[in-house]
Copies of this chain bind each other. A is one copy, B any other.
Amino acid sequence: MITAYPTTASSVSSRCQTCTIREIVLFADLTSSDFDSIHGKIEYKVFSPGEMIFDRGSAGDFLYTIHSGLAKLVRRADDGRDRIVRVLRQSDLLGIEALATKQYANDAIALTPLQMCKIPLRVIQELNRLSPRLHARLMEKWQQALQDAEDWIADLNFGTAKKRVANLLLRMRHPDQPHVSTVFSRADMGAMLDLKFETVSREISAFVQNGAIVQIDNMGRVFEIKDEAQLRRA
């Protein structure tokens, strides 16, 4: 991905045609001439962990596609506690809701170093006319977002702390390395699972002691899954 994308923002949209993940994002079906019409309107942006991408309620004029890294959607409760509503990863879209409501529904914050394309909503609307199949793509993305949100409710926010942490570990496995799982700070995990970070830490430690997982890095973020069945049983 990095090879396909320069870290400068110059002449970015022309790069879309050579983007290695183009097929899995929005513009898979566009022709070269389609691209000419949006030339120069798409920005390539980089965020560092903790950086805010946009905030809830502000005017949503752009839509973002993730090239690499992770972002979290957050709501701040009245009492100040943060609730992570969803985590987005490669080829996910940030801010689709603005297509319908003109404003963002959540705070969006980078969770890891993050590389994204920033696309004006107007471009999407233009392209609707050019590419009838873009609609289908958008629908798929929308469906995926809904699916993720429902999975979030059903898997990560149901049952005991042990179950929740186990499900998160399973969900955060690396796609092409199913026995390696990378997680977040204990505080973020707590905000995802509705648990205190001490509880998360305890459950992880318990899994390590039981031999279900083994810590790989030296910061407690990367684990090897030794006994997947135990995690599933939880």
Contact B105 A147, beta carbon cutoff 8 Å: yes
Which among A27-35, A42-50, A95-103, A219-227 touches the partner chain? A95-103
Q: How far is the CB of A192 from chain B (nearest CB, A)?
A: 10
Interface residues of A (CB under 8 A from B): 73, 75, 77-78, 81, 83, 85-86, 96-97, 99-101, 105-106, 128, 135-136, 138-140, 142-147, 149-150, 152-154, 157-159, 194, 232
In the complex, chain B residues whose CB is within 8 Å of the CB of A145: 146
In the complex, chain B residues whose CB is within 8 Å of the CB of A105: 147, 150
Q: Which residue of B lies closest to A86 (CB)?
A: B150
Q: How far is the CB of A155 from chain B (nearest CB, A)?
A: 9
Q: Which residue of B lies closest to A129 (CB)?
A: B132
Contact A157 B150, beta carbon cutoff 8 Å: no
Contact B143 A149, beta carbon cutoff 8 Å: no
> Which of B83, B139, B143, B150 meets A154, CB within 8 Å?
B83
> Which of B81, B83, B136, B147 meets A153, CB within 8 Å?
B83
Contact B194 A147, beta carbon cutoff 8 Å: no
How many copies of this chain does the complex contain? 2
Dominant SS among interface residues on chain A = helix
Assess A194 versus B158: contact at CB under 8 Å? Given A97-B143, A100-B140, A135-B135: yes
Q: How far is the CB of A144 from chain B (nearest CB, A)?
A: 8
> Which of B99, B106, B136, B157 meets A143, CB within 8 Å?
B99
- Distance, CA A43 to CA B71, complexed state (A): 43
Contact B146 A97, beta carbon cutoff 8 Å: yes
Contact B150 A194, beta carbon cutoff 8 Å: no
Which of the listed residues A85, A138, A142, A144 has the most CB atoms from chain B within 10 Å of its own CB?
Answer: A142
Contact A77 B154, beta carbon cutoff 8 Å: yes
Q: How far is the CB of A22 from chain B (nearest CB, A)?
A: 20
Which of the listed residues A96, A100, A105, A106 has the most CB atoms from chain B within 10 Å of its own CB?
Answer: A100
Contact A97 B157, beta carbon cutoff 8 Å: no
